[in-house]
Structure formats: structure tokens, C-alpha cells
Structure 1
Amino acid sequence: MYVKRLETVTPIRPYLACCVLRNLDLTGENFKKFINIQTKLHASSLCANRTIAAIGTHEIKSFQPPLKYLALPPDELHITALHKKKPVSAKELIDALVRDADLARKRTKRNTLNPLHR
């Protein structure tokens, strides 16, 4: 599998590493452990709450080559979130995440956002 990196993304995320893992059992407890490790890595100094690096796990069958790694303005980038059927713009997704984070903060009466919601 080949991923083409477009120059528009270089100033934002200059590096990309990809791998394809086959015959990996990510069912039940294994998946929970994997997500737990991924979450800890995101919160660590290695990823700095996903500002330096982020780890994405995807089902390769859902990809259609050729793959492109690019940057688009938030209104032009459309994303179909996990377990959702309809794509939304990145701006709509970020707005919804900010609303959700604010509601979560109000429910727990905290003054600051959880690092996962930043």
C-alpha cells in the first residue's frame, strides 16, 4: 500500500508513519487493552495530547487506494465519524466536540477542559 503526502500538509504534520498489521486479534479484552495503551501514549510526552503525534487504528478494508495525506480547510474536509453514517465537515465535527467537552466540563463542574477534548 502506498500513501502520497501532499505538500499542503508539510507545515502542519511533516511526518507520517504507517503500517499494516495482519492476523492481529483485537477482539474483547485485547481491544480494550490496545485502546488503553493508545490512550496512554496520546497523553504522554511522546504525543503531547495528540499535538505532536496521533495514533489511528483503522480497518484496511475500508480504504480505497490510492491514499493521500493532505491538509484541507475545515469547511472542505468531510469526515464520517466512527459508528456514524453521514459525513460532516471538520468544522461541524470540531464544533460538536467543543460543545460536548463544554457539557462534560459543566456536568463535572470543572473549570478546565479534559486534555482529550482540547
Structure 2
Amino acid sequence: DKEFDQLCFDFGIELDDIEPIPESNGEDVEYKIDIPANRYDILCLEGLSRALKIFLQKGELPKFTLSNQKLIRMKILPNTQRIRPIVVGAVLRNITFNADSYNSFIKLQDKLHQNLCRNRTLVAIGTHDLDTIKPPFIYDAREPKQIKFRSLNQQKEMQADEMLEFYSKDSHLKRYVSIIQESDVYPVIYDSNNVVLSLPPIINGDHSKMSVNTKNVFIECTAVDLHKANVVLNIMLKMFAQYC
């Protein structure tokens, strides 16, 4: 532990605490590390371990390439300019998750939402099982009563205005409702079968929800800032491309 504490200090981060994980009966511990505000690339274990290996000269800088195969298109309709005009996206293909890497993937989204994305006001991340939906996709903004779908982990369909009322009482999601609630149109992403992928920046649809068994991940980032949208998307891709 002292050796790791010194490594953190030399690297420029701070080891705050080491706590036992109750579920492991004391066999495993959790390291709490203070990460600098501008180091979004080390907010997950994948990024931190990679950075430390490079710092110790035990690893090389990774090189990433984009494949031009199986390009997916998303049509952006003019109405989106009224509320949330930007969307970018990419696919992680042939990915293999285990329980730990899948949880890390989900947690990184939450961490990015809280800081770089400014509580989803600037950018909102949606992740989907690509094999459950059919491209090309459509990014639109429609009146709330024109949007109806079953949101993540819910049993019944709701109109978008009903959905926002529902999530205004949700302990986790209520903070995001006000971002779009007063608008006369809400942003929404559909696939070519008219299946709703997401109602950003609030909630994804249940139809395309991911699991640890997902093999192809479609990531979409809706935003009001193109630069930050690209930064967020690139972080998600580069942290988890190692599992592809």
C-alpha cells in the first residue's frame, strides 16, 4: 500500500483511503483516489491502469483506428436546432464484457455526466445494444405527446410528458428533468423501425438496453457543445476499445 501511495504521488494523484469491501468478507479492498478535475481519461480503472503502466514505462501509448466498415448513418432533422442540436455516435464492435468491465463502463458514464457533461446540460450519453435496433437512425425533436415508448426497466409505455412527470419524482433522474421540461419539443432518437432509442438527456428506451452479454455497443452523445460531445465520445471509446 505504501508503494502504491508513493506511485500515486509521483504520478500526480492522491490515494485518499483504502477500505475493505463488505461483500468480500474483508478479503478485497477498495482504493479511493482523488483524480484531478481535468483528467477525464483516468476516471475508470481501464484508463488509470493504462496511464500508470505508461508512466512506469511498462506499456506503450495505445494507437486507435476507426474502421470504415459497416458505417452507420444518423439523420438529424431541423427541429433539433430548437433544443439540443448536436449528436455524435460510434460503435464498439465485437466487445467482450465481464461483470467488472461492464460495471466500469456504466460507472464511467455516470462520472462523465457529473463533471464534463455538467449534469447532462452540455452532453448526455446513451449506450445501446446495437443488435436489438436497426440503423439508419433519426435524431428529431417532437412534441411530447407525439413521443411514446417504454423507458429503461419500465413495464408500460408512457408519453414523453408523462415520463418527465414520472421521473421528476425519481431520486436519480429528477435533477435532469428541468433541462427539457419547459420546451415545446423534446429530443428523441429513433431507429428505422420507429423504435425509440432514447429521450435525451433523461432516459434510454428499454428495447435497446445493454447487458454484460452485449457484443456491439452503439454510443450516442447528444449535446449543445460539439467539442465536448466529441471529447466524451472519444473517452468512452478509448477506455473500452481494449475489450474489442
Alignment TM-score, normalising by the size of structure 2 = 0.40
* Structure 1 residues 70-97: Cα deviation after superposition (integer angstroms, max 9, x where no partner): 0011111113212334321111111111
For the pair 1:99 / 2:169, whether they are aligned, the reply is yes
Counterpart-to-counterpart distance in 2, 1:25 and 1:55: 20
For 2:110, give the aligned amino acid: T
Which has the larger strand fraction? 2
Match of 2:104 among 14, 17, 33: 33
Change (3 A) 1:26 1:56: farther
Task: Name the residue aligned to 2:121.
Answer: 51
Counterpart-to-counterpart distance in 1, 2:108 and 2:81: 28
Counterpart-to-counterpart distance in 2, 1:84 and 1:27: 25
For 1:59, give the aligned amino acid: D
Counterpart-to-counterpart distance in 2, 1:77 and 1:62: 20
Secondary structure, aligned partner of 1:70: strand
* Structure 1 residues 30-57: Cα deviation after superposition (integer angstroms, max 9, x where no partner): 111111111010000x211001101111
Larger radius of gyration, structure 1 or 2?
A: 2
Counterpart-to-counterpart distance in 2, 1:85 and 1:63: 19
Alignment TM-score, normalising by the size of structure 1 = 0.78
Aligned sequence identity (%): 36
Match of 1:7 among 78, 101, 107: 78
More displaced 10-residue stretch of structure 1: 78-87 or 32-41: 78-87
Gapped regions of structure 2 (runs ≥ 5): 1-71, 176-244
For 1:88, give the aligned amino acid: M
Counterpart-to-counterpart distance in 1, 2:98 and 2:143: 36
Counterpart-to-counterpart distance in 2, 1:64 and 1:89: 22
More displaced 10-residue stretch of structure 1: 70-79 or 22-31: 22-31
Superposition deviation, residue 13 in structure 1: 1.6
